[in-house]
Amino acid sequence: MIGYVTLGTNDLPRAAAFYDALLGEIGARRLWEFPRGIAWGVAQNKPSLCVMTPFDGAAATVGNGVMVALIVDSREKVQRVHARALELGGKDEGAVGPRGEGFYAGYFRDLDGNKLDVFCFE
């Protein structure tokens, strides 16, 4: 049902480097680019993640309670992506581990403070 999610940035080149490295861990690549933003995904007909500067020209800010969740197919990938986010300068928002029946996840913030989650169902 979700086509894409957009996160704001105030430094597109920095955000691009972060997401190129991070999303490469799960097989995503740049699907499209334009002056204000970039979208990553595995295919045009699958959900994608976009990062762009705000259309109104104002500074990008982080939404309280907003989070993007990235699904992967194994605990190992959850651990790898979470660790990679921290290596790339992201901040830990919840260590990798079980979060309930069959749900395994780790939480982090990107370089602009946007909150993300990487998870799998077991």
* pLDDT, tens digit, 9 for 90 and up, residues 53-90: 999 999 999 888 899 999 999 999 999 999 999 999 99
Q: What residues have CB less than 8 Å from 11, skipping those under 6 apart?
A: 111, 112
pLDDT of residue 5: 95
pLDDT grade for 28, boundaries at 50, 70 and 90: very high
pLDDT of residue 15: 98
pLDDT of residue 98: 97
* Helix 12-24 / helix 75-87 crossing angle, nearest 10 deg: 150
User: 1 pLDDT exceeds 80?
Assistant: no
Spatial separation of the C-alpha atoms in residues 106 and 1, rounded to whole Å: 23
Spatial separation of the C-alpha atoms in residues 101 and 107, rounded to whole Å: 17
The DSSP 8-state label assigned to residue 86 in this structure reads H
Q: What is the pTM of this model?
A: 0.88
Domains with residue ranges and CATH for the chain? 4-55+67-121 (3.10.180.10)
